Each structure stands twice: as structure tokens, then as C-alpha cells.
A and B are shown apart, each in its own frame.
Chain A
């Protein structure tokens, strides 16, 4: 049922992959992967904290249009063996495909984990509907609805995560960009 709600909300699968998406540019993340980035979308690096090399997680986030102060985001990351963030694809899936704290406290919606593909590569796919709260630390914050979709691609050494994050108002219109990134995805570390 939850899957149906998400699918109905976004009419997933209605559009063929990359239909209507503007021409993108090729992007290579070191020796880890290549993708085609949607035209006009912008890469943003993290400013501080542990470096990618320290975490052993390599990748990039690309930002598109924004609503409610939140930008649509597509992230592609490679989690190397021994990385400090998510040790295994199973753990990543467990922490993101259901409430990471073990209980759903605010009516978030989690879809089922299913088999799928990212480009030509087998993936575990799931989606979820979560929230951001604004203003921060207010007594009665407003809930901003957010749609997310994940493709987790395990490889012999490590795994990849492709992630789509969008305020609900912009989720449907920009899903084609995520599908285009998926279609172009080529893992280099295997």
C-alpha cells in the first residue's frame, strides 16, 4: 500500500528514462564512476569535516531547482571497503529504507526494497517520503514534505549509492533528471 501511495503521488514509470531532460555534461569522479549530469545543475562540495579520503566515501551532489528553501539534489557516491560511514550495502539499505531509529514517529512513508537497475547494473531500489521541519527548533514547526529515491549498487569491492532528494512540489517534474543520471551511470571501481 505504501508503495502504491508513493507511486501514485509521483506517477513513477510514466515517463521513459531521460525523456525531456536537457542535454547533460559528462562527469567523472576520480577512478570511481562516470555519469551524465543534468544540464545546468551544479556540483557542491562539502566544506569541512573529515575529508573524502579519510571517510573513504567518494562522490558528488548536484543541485537543481529549489522550493521551500530546499533544492532538488542528486547524489552519487562510492563507499569503498572499510569506509567510515556505511560499512555494507545491507546496512545502508537498513538505515534508509526504514526509520533509522527503529520507529516511525511522524507518519513518514517507506517503500519496499525491490530489485532494479542503475544503468546496466543491478541495484536494490527503494523510495520514501520524509520531512524537513521549519523553522528549526520552533515549538510548532511546519513540515516540508520531501520525496527520496535510492539505488544501491553493490560491487565486489564496496558499493554505490545513487540518491534523489526533492521537495514534494518539485519531485515529479525533476525525476526525469534522476532517471537520466541512472541511465548514464557507469561504476569504475569493481
Chain B
């Protein structure tokens, strides 16, 4: 890569358009190229921010102009500077296991742009960078990624002993997830030894805390029980384990590591979509027992009318029937309880109109396929490959059970069906916006799978979530403004109402800024940009070689070379088009959201605020 960067810098002036660019544009491109050159030892996120903004300025943008002349250089320039921004965001905003999951995503998976700048694949490669650009994070990050020197005396001494034979070099060569798994195994083994020993170690409190941390991270309940048993037997009062997310996170970490490592680039979007929507457990296959709602102990048929009962699972036929009752196509338009609810807001109307739009119908990208399905843990999701929107059956089952009903009984109760439609409508608006995003990308000619078979697709990043969250928030706000105001908000899940509240108070920026750390598995827009342009380097190199040939000796080119040149150009243009459209779409969304907030914002309170 260093060679590639040098080549980028050396050849900047070789492109006619670069020489013809205004001096400030040339200077910016040169500065941006210097910034991502590891040899220059800059790699500054502040400069990267300036570069991304500068390359997206103008109409057409500077990036678009530059990409026409030097697609390889432009793709590295925009991809790598975005990678630095992404790293900064993750390091600064995320800590603990979520941060590790996010770092693993950008450092240890294929198409790692940061690795090309010597920042990866192992986390130790970013320590100096973190010290320079996010110094407050350095100590915590070293501990989070379980680097050898930050394991602590007890772990290090034990792991380096003959029993385990670990060395610093071997340890730090492991992926982050593997380190957690290894520590889990080690902690289980040490716990067994301590349990079998005639005497409890003098430093048990210290040892126990370390072991507990590692066992919780891999959710080793058996060893944790054993450890507590040792403490109880010795009469040592352990601090009650606080309800921690560590065990759950550990499972997620291991599952995410294994899953992401095993899937290819094309499948990653789908996996990440499901991971976001909480439907990652779909792959597990088995149906979990449906948990009763709080306070619901009565079985169906034994409770007083209207009193909560234990949720009753729907059959496949009931799932389908309920989905059809909520929304289906009739005479080219969505109808049903939920379609009616959505017709009461502009965002909802846009969703309904999307499914009726002949422009998308021609391409087959706006087919409505809505139903309920068992999807443990998730509320709902859009599956871009199957092209379906699904709501978790448990949502309807729990909704009915709280009213003392089964779903078939619910379906005979018009008022209850309307209330269910209201509750799930923000999810429908959110997921339909994802479907709409794909349809818009296809219509704009953004086709990442061209020449490789399969349907059209564009990358999935958090920018898409911002758009979907904005639409669902707007739908709820407008719906409640027309349907009872404050009382109406109880119709929605508190999590969805919270999205609307954050949006109302601070706009799209508040949704992204506050919630971004909670999406560790999804590439940010910056991270997705870095990944996609890194993945495209093979095309970029081929294109550069063919364009060089075309410039130097066009008459010697074969027909096949000319065709390849055209095809590779299409592939690169697609990526630049995707990036520019997404960047601009998010700015437009920001502006529209601000206008919406102005329209629906609460009136000024009239508080007397003293000025200086």
C-alpha cells in the first residue's frame, strides 16, 4: 500500500485534469494524499475531516472531477481519509466490548483500509495513533482489547507459566475475539484448580474478580457458579454480581466474530442488517419458549376477560393472516389497518405511495411482502435478499396477551387491531424506508453486483439507519399531533417514542450522535466508504492500467481491452456515484428534518430568559 500511495502522489501531476485544477484544489488533494501516506506519519483525523468536506464541495464535487481522471487515486483518497474519521469515532465514542466489536469490524475483517495505512490488523498497531489523537482513551483501549501488557499481573504470570506457555508475541498475534475466548478458557481452568485446592488462595478477592470478569465475558455460567461456591465454602462474602451486560456482550462478541469471519462481502450487508435489527439469532434455528409478560400468569381461557394471559404462539397461517390484515396490496394500493394508520402522516403516505409507484414496479423493487414471523429478540426487519418486511410474531402475541387474548381473538377485535397497527407502524415506516433506499439506488444505477450476477445492491451503513429513523420519528410525531397528542404516545413502544423525542429535540444529528455508539456491528457511513473503496482496489488498478494504455498507445488496444476498460469504469463510477448520492442525501435529509421540526415543534414556552 505504501507503494501504492507513493505511486498516487507521484502520478498526481501526470493527469491532465489535475494540472488544470485550481491551485487550492490541487493543494487540497496533495494535502489529503500526504495525510494518508504512512511514511509521512500524519494520519490525522482533523485533516481527514477537512479532506472529506473539501472533496465533497462544489458541483460537480471535487471528488467527482478527480475520480474521472484518476479513479484509483480518488478512491484511495476518499476511502482512507474516511477510514481515519471512522477510527476516531469508534475510539472516542465507544468503550468496553462494544468498542472491541467495532474495532474488530474495521481492523480484522477483509477490506481493511486502515491496515493499508499500517493501522491494523491487530489493535496494537493503533496504540501510538490513539496516544496522539485520543490520548484519554489509550489506557482503557489497551485493557479493552486485552493486549498482553494490560492483562494485569495475575493473568500475565499465570498465562506465561508452564501450564499455559503463552508469550507476549503469540498472545498479541491473536484476534481480539480470540483473546476473550482464550481468557475464558484460562479462567475456567483456574477456577477448577482453585475449587479442587485444599485452601482458598490468600488473595482470593483479587483473583476472583479477574476470573469472574473473564468468565462473564464468555458467559460460562457453570464456572461462575463454581467460583461462587468456593467463596461460600470459605465463608468469603463476594460482592453480589451486578446485572452486567458483559455476559451477553461476550456471547455477541463471539457470535459476531465467528459469523462475520465466515461470510463473504456480498453476504455481509444482510448479516449486518439482521444484526442491527436484533434478528441475528435467526440462524440459531430453534424456537425459544415465549416468555410471559410481567404479571401474566393465567393460561388462555382461565383468566378474567381482559386480564393478561400467557402469550399464545401463532400458527404460520395466523402469522400470514395477521400480516394481510395489517397491510396488503389491492388494486395497486396498500390497504389494511396499518395502511390506514400510515395514511395519517406524510412519512406514512410516502411509504404507501412507494408501494404504488409504477417507476419502481417496473424494476420490481417495490413489491410489498409483509408478514409476521418468529424472530427471537428482534422487533422487525427488512431482509434485502428475500425482499420482505417482517415483524416478530412475539410482538403481536404479547400485545394480544396483555389484553387477555390470543391473536385469532385479537383479529376479531377491530379496536385492538387498530391499536396494534399504530404500535408497529413506525417499524413499518422504518423498514420500508430501507426497501425504498434499495429501490432508489437501483433506479439511480447504483449496482454493486454488476457483472457478478445476482440482484442490484448498494452498501448498508448507518447512514441508512439515520434516514429510516428520521422517517419513523416524523411519522409518529405527525400521527400523534392528529390523534390525541400526549395520550397517543403510549400507543408506541417507549424505545420508538424515545427516537421521536430525540429527533424532536435535536434533529437527525441527535439521533446519530447519541445512538451511534449503540450500533457496534454496523459500519458508519465513513467506515462503509472506507470498506467499499478498499474492496474496489482490484477494479481500480485494472482501470488505471487500461487508462494508462489508452493514453499512451490507444491504437494498440484490443477490443477486449476496450470492453474491459468500459466495464471497470462502470464499476468504479458506480461506487463514486453511491458515495456522492449518499453524502448529499444525508445533507438533504438533515435539511428536511429541520423544516419538519420547525413545523411540528412545540410553541415557545415564554420563559423569561435574562440576557447578558
Contacts and interface: CB of A to CB of B under 8 A. Distances in A.
Interface residues of A, number: 69
B504 A66 contact: no
A99 B489 CA distance: 11
Contacts of A113: 607
A185 B257 CA distance: 44
B18 interface: no
Interface in A133-153: 133-142, 152-153
Contact of A90 (B99, B245, B513, B604): B604
How many chain B residues sit at the interface, stated as a range, is: 35 or more
Interface stretch (B356-364, B404-412, B479-487): B479-487
Interface stretch (B119-127, B171-179, B374-382): B374-382
B341 interface: no
A122 B610 CA distance: 7
B219 to A, nearest CB: 16
Nearest to A41: B136
Contact of A50 (B89, B463, B498, B590): B590
A64 B245 contact: no
A122 B609 CA distance: 9
The CB with the most chain A CB atoms within 10 A, among B46, B136, B245, B487, is that of B136
A40 interface: yes
A31 interface: no
Contacts, number: 211
Interface string B54-95: 000000000000000000000000000000010011001111
Given A65-B136, A71-B95, A96-B505, A139 B89 contact: no
A140 B94 CA distance: 22
A137 B601 contact: no
A130 to B, nearest CB: 8
Contact of A47 (B486, B515, B526): B526
Contacts of B377: 135, 138-140
A142 B601 CA distance: 29
User: What is the predominant secondary structure among interface residues of chain B facing chain A?
Assistant: helix
B518 A42 contact: no
A75 to B, nearest CB: 9
A152 B605 CA distance: 15
Contact of B513 (A46, A88, A100, A152): A46
A101 B583 contact: no
A154 B136 contact: no
A69 interface: yes
11 contacts: A48-B583, A69-B517, A93-B609, A94-B604, A100-B502, A101-B480, A130-B498, A131-B498, A135-B377, A137-B430, A155-B612
List the 7 closest A-B pairs by CB distance, nearest first.
Answer: A66-B95, A40-B136, A69-B98, A103-B486, A106-B494, A100-B504, A100-B505
Given A85-B509, A101-B497, A103-B486, 14 more contacts: A47-B525, A49-B589, A68-B96, A69-B94, A69-B95, A70-B518, A93-B607, A100-B501, A100-B502, A101-B480, A105-B498, A124-B609, A132-B518, A133-B495
